[in-house]
Amino acid sequence: MTFTPLSLPQGIIQLITDELPSPADFILHQNLISHVKEHKEAKRIILSVSEGWARWQAIASKHNVNLTQQKNSGSLTFVDVSSFEPEESGLRPIFNVVFGALKECTPDSLIILDDVSMLEWIGVPALEILRFCRALRAQCIKHQATLLIRHHLVVHDKPDQLFRDLLQLATYHVDVRPLASGRSGAVSGEVALHLGPNALSPTSVKPVSRSRAVQYRLTDSASVFFERGNSRGVL
Ligand SMILES: *[C@@H]1O[C@H](CO)[C@@H](O)[C@H](O)[C@H]1NC(C)=O
């Protein structure tokens, strides 16, 4: 067993999808927290549509990461996307913030876009979202940064057009779902990993099919991954 959603390489584009009963917030938060701990000199940019600053900060502080300090020192740029009224003014002003923040950054930076479904729901056209993600991806490739894009799948097993278009941009698709058999106390959900068209050589990270998906359990402040049927074992 080599895969957990937190062990993917840097400098890639991840499309992270989830469903209502199995939100993937924990993957975003934990990526951010490990990034702060492991890449002290790098830059982090959070483009948050649905979650306020307070929640990001509260979760990080449980892991002894002080995001206010990060923000004050300039290592973190937090963008409250809805305050830009993107349904009125488009996504260009937000892209400009990212562009400016990445200008002087070191490699290994991290950009989190949370989430594209909410952008669509507040009325930003899908085509504009796609163009925005393409532009973010180009910046990330140029600066060797990692981009995490989160998208909610509303209808189980019926990928929407925006999802299919975003998948074309991705190195990996991290697919978070509830258990087919329903929620259980020991297992919160499962995660499969699909390779995108831009995946690195298949030897570096192997795909994990739905039938072999890694299971996880969320606790108050952490997530625990284990192989199917092995909810006592911990990776
Ligand atoms: C986080 O950092 C800020 C600014 O340095 C400080 O005011 C605040 O008390 C810190 N919070 C915690 C929980 O340590």
Side chain identity, residue 82: S
- Whether residue 51 lies inside any domain: the answer is yes
For ligand 1, pick from 36, 59, 69 the residue to mutate: most ligand atoms within 8 Å of CB.
69
Q: What local confidence, expressed as pLDDT, does residue 149 receive?
A: 98
Residue 231 lies in a domain: no
Residue nearest atom 14 of ligand 1, based on CA coordinates? 66
Is the residue at 174 inside a domain? Answer: yes
Q: How far is CA 153 from the centre of its chain?
A: 14
Residue 82 lies in a domain: yes
CA atoms of 63 and 77, how far apart (whole Å): 19
Asked if the structure places residue 6 within a domain, the reply is no
> Is residue 33 classed as helix, strand or coil in its secondary structure?
helix
Pairing of strands 189-195, 172-177: antiparallel
Per the structure, the complete domain to which residue 59 belongs is given by 13-226
Which residue owns the Cα nearest ligand 1 atom 10?
Answer: 66
Counting the structural domains of the chain, the total is 1
Q: What is the pLDDT of residue 107?
A: 87
Q: Exposed/middle/buried for 212, CB within 10 Å: 0-12, 13-18, 19+?
A: middle
Per-residue model confidence as pLDDT tens for the chain (235 residues): 557 888 888 889 999 999 999 999 999 999 999 999 999 999 999 999 989 999 999 999 999 999 999 999 999 999 999 999 999 999 999 999 999 999 877 889 999 999 999 999 999 999 999 999 999 999 999 999 999 999 999 877 778 899 999 999 999 999 999 988 776 778 999 999 999 987 877 667 889 999 899 999 998 878 889 888 766 655 5
Flag whether 179 is in a domain.
yes
Structure tokens at 119: 């952008």
Q: Which of 150, 199, 122 has its CA nearest to residue 18?
A: 150
Residue 6 has a pLDDT of 82
Does any domain span residue 235? no
Residue ID of nearest Cα to ligand 1 atom 12? 66
**What pLDDT shows up at residue 182?**
74
Instruction: Give the residue whose CA is nearest to atom 5 of ligand 1.
Output: 69
Q: Tell me the DSSP string of 63-106.
A: TT--HHHHHHTTSEEEEEGGGG-HHHH-SHHHHHHHHHHHHT--
Q: Which residues contact 216 (CB under 8 A, 6 or more apart)?
A: 26, 187, 188, 189, 190, 191, 223, 224, 225, 226
If one residue of 56, 65, 66 were mutated to test the ligand 1 pocket, choosing by the most ligand atoms within 8 A of its CB, it would be 66
Q: Look at residue 123 and tell me if it is in a domain.
A: yes
* CATH number for the domain harbouring residue 174: 3.40.50.300
- The pick from 68, 71, 76 for probing ligand 1's pocket by mutation, whose C-beta has the most ligand atoms within 8 angstroms, reads 68
Q: What residues are paired with 215 via a beta bridge?
A: 190, 226
Which residue's alpha carbon is nearest to atom 4 within ligand 1?
69
Protein residues with CB under 6 Å of any ligand 1 atom: 61, 66, 68-69, 72
C-alpha 65 to ligand 1 mean position (Å): 10
Predicted local distance difference test score (pLDDT) of residue 202: 64
The pTM assigned to this predicted structure is 0.94
